[in-house]
Amino acid sequence: MLRSLKEKDQALYDIVKAELSRQRNGIELIASESYVPEAIMELQGSVLTNKTAEGYPGKRYHAGCHEVDKMETLGIERAKELFGAEHANIQAHSGSQANQAVYSAILEPGDTILGMRLDQGGHLTHGSGVNFSGRMYNCISYGLDRETEIIDYDEVERLAKEKRPKLLIAGASAYPRLIDYERMSEIAREVGAYFMVDMAHIAGLVAAKVIPSPVPYADFVTSTTTKTLAGARGGFILCRAEYASKVDKGIFPGVQGSMHFHVMGAKAHTFKNAMTSKYRECMQQVVKNAQKLAQELSQRGFRIVTGGTDNHLMLVDVRPKGLTGVQLDEALESVGITVNKNMIPFDPEKPTVTSGVRIGTTAMTIKGMKEAQAEQIAALIDEVACNIGDKTALEGIARKVTELGSSFPLYQGYFK
């Protein structure tokens, strides 16, 4: 592995090697992570990184593009086929830039956008005041119903009618339930707003048809190819044919210059991988594992936000265990289980403390873990929660984590 790097830069080689060991031995439960197939890494480390170009296939600003033109066209066709979309743009460097490109395509600075609150599950780029979206546009936010912790669709409708946004955004980075795209699209239509869905977290489940697709309802769908899609570290945009030219101009020259062809090649392969029966089976298991883990944690006294999950992630309220999110996050990390502290709905704690953790099952499932391991993981999490501050107990748990993590080797589960 990394022969040349080892010869030329020992310090960086050692870091990558140690990270490999962390990924091999630990239990990865960060909801936005996955283990990508080896072909994705080959493409991302390929000579495609040497090519510079701006524009689109057949309409480039640089010569020598005949091979990368074929590749971009192939990736676009695969994305359209996978998601049943009329148009795809696969140039976005990330999900955030995919969102930025859509805004740049259809909005003017100061226009009103309506998205989900960050502290109740939304994403930074959906209008947070600390992000470009909140600084450039007039952003208003909808949230959850306090009782059910489900999106308050009546509030969405009320805010849309009152504030007349130009863009309504659905999609979240910490929401465990299905989103009613039909209702959201009706609200958007009623007030004359564009409707965009950011499906970054759930794109893999959508591709595998494990949960409903937003594509038939939305004018624009943005996503990453990481997370449940388990592929390249980049973004893409799907849209109706009528918006194709606006979206393409929104990306280039709107917010990006030359593209990352090595990542684009990996995106094209991500879409192919997501068309396989093995991938679909994996995504079904991701949801089964999430539901089992949520159920097992609940039986051990944790409170699961909304009472369960329909997708790959759950939000766990850790207060019944007398803990904060940051305490459990750090204690779990010390034994080799990786999660992230996360606000729960109406959280009284600061974002750096939180009352919860977010847990996702994509990575563990790709390694080949099933419901039996989900149960073992719930027991380990509970053991950590009950032994915070007990160094000896935590060392014992760390040994069990390594034993479980390393007994499911990388690249021997669902994807090679």
Nearer to ligand DSN, 51 or 123 (CB): 123
Footprint of ligand DSN (CB under 6 A): 32, 123, 173
Nearest CB to ligand DSN, comparing residues 126 and 321: 126
Smallest distance from the beta carbon of 96 to ligand DSN, in angstroms? 8
Nearest to ligand DSN of 123, 367 (CB atom):
123
* Residue 227 or 321 with smaller CB distance to ligand DSN: 227
Among residues 58, 54, 49, 52, the alpha carbon closest in space to that of 251 is found at 54
Q: Output the smallest distance, CB 139 to ligand DSN, in A.
A: 17
Indicate the residue among 87 and 134 with the shorter CB distance to ligand DSN: 134
Min CB(336)–ligand DSN separation in Å: 19
**Which residue of the chain is nearest ligand DSN when measured via CB?**
32
Closest approach of Cβ 324 to ligand DSN, in Å? 19
Q: How far is the CB of 173 from ligand DSN (least distance, A)?
A: 4
Identify which of residues 123 and 262 has a Cβ nearer to ligand DSN in the complex.
Answer: 123
CB of 162 to ligand DSN, least distance (A): 29
